[in-house]
Amino acid sequence: MHVLAGDIGGTKVLLQLAHVGAGSCRVVEEQRYESSAFSSLSSIVQKFLKLLHHDSAIDAACFGIAGPVTEAGPYQIAKVTNLPWEIDSVALAREFNLPKVRLINDFQAVGHGIEALATQDRVLLQEGRAQARAPRAVIGAGTGLGQGMLVWQHGHYESVATEGGHTDFAPTDGLQIGLWHYLRQHFDHISYERIVSGPGLALIYSYLCERDAVKASAHVDLLRAVDPAAAISELALSGTDMFATQALDLFVRVYGAQAGNLALSAGASGGVYIAGGIAPKIIHKLTDGTFMRAFLNKGRMAPLLAAVPVQVVMNPNVGLMGAAIVASRL
């Protein structure tokens, strides 16, 4: 059967046509699109389908959406958190003559894709002692902060969507308390996503510069870059900008703390997976111990978390893989 899979984010949209057989999945066509260049998902799907040169019709489609998905009877409606897009599964099915369409949260799709990852697609942060069929958790920073949980059902892990990235940020030291006060001047609600995301890294950098009364044009120009988070990360990893280095360190500490919160909340004795677009780009920082120290800093619960396997997902297509799996099950 042929399935259409999509990973729909605030920054990019990945679409894939795959042929799914007995225990196999072969990619027929795959494309990346910049989300901001289009007014809707439909316009991107239309452009993608024009590229296809295959004889078989599409049997089912699944799109992982970076935002909440609402069930409305037999269909779903989704609102992309960082885009003015509303997506309707029935409308997509009618417009493109698709027999079956399913919308799921993007981290639901990531969760489904975990089981399809190869060994080389993961980097181990903590070995732990995984419990068979126990709950798992996924978290990942990109344009926003996605979170999800996996529970064992019907012979496989079923992925459950959450909006846990929007829970209240809880600072753990003086520097983070200062960051909270800085953000409170600009936002009514300070969530973990406000900090642990691409835009969040730029906010941390701005906070550290202002805290030290640094107004140099070089720092202002950095924040005006096309992708400030990427520029800050690059300078931090090269050690050429003190504030960038401090910003990435603070970013990773808050990231690790929230991953630990999620592990406790989900009872994730089956493992925690760090996904999202940022993690592979800062893997050298994630593996230096900063992330895991914050993850484990949970007082009496530290021994419990020490038994949780923690891995970084390096394959950027894990969401597409999960969406293809869901589509094949339709």
DSSP code per residue over 117-158: --GGGEEEEE---PPTT--EEEEEESSSEEEEEEEEETTEEE
Task: Specify the pLDDT at position 216.
Answer: 57
238 lies in the same domain as 295? yes
Pairwise pLDDT comparison (50 vs 256), residue with the higher score:
256
Q: Helix (H, G, I), strand (E, B), or coil: what is residue 248?
A: helix
- Which letter, b or e, does each residue of 43-70 get, where b requires 16 or more Cβ atoms within 10 Å of its Cβ? ebbeebbeeeeeeeebbbbbbbbbbebe
Beta-bridged to residue 260, according to DSSP, are none
| pLDDT tens digits for range 272-290 | 999 999 999 999 999 999 9
Residue 203 shares a structural domain with residue 282: yes
Residues 323 and 227 in one domain: no
Q: Are residues 102 and 207 in the same domain?
A: no
pLDDT tens for 183-237 read 999 999 999 999 999 999 999 999 998 888 766 556 767 778 888 999 999 999 9
Q: Hey, what are 142's tokens?
A: 């990109």
Say whether both 20 and 141 belong to one domain. no
Same domain (yes/no): 34, 172? no
Domain of 50, in residue numbers: 2-112+317-329
Mean pLDDT of 98-124: 93
Confidence tier at 23 by pLDDT (50, 70, 90): low
Q: Are residues 139 and 98 in the same domain?
A: no
Q: Are 247 and 208 in contact (CB under 8 A)?
A: yes
Question: Looking at the structure, do residues 104 and 197 belong to the same domain, yes or no?
Answer: no
For 81-91, how does the pLDDT look when each residue is reduced to its tens digit (9 = 90+)?
A: 888 999 999 99
> What is the average pLDDT score of the chain?
92
201 shares a domain with 262: yes
CATH number, domain with residue 285: 3.40.367.20
| Total number of domains in the chain | 2
56: CATH: 3.30.420.40
- Check whether residue 10 and residue 25 sit in a common domain: yes
Amino acid at 157: Y
> Are residues 201 and 97 part of one domain?
no
Question: What local confidence, expressed as pLDDT, does residue 21 receive?
Answer: 76
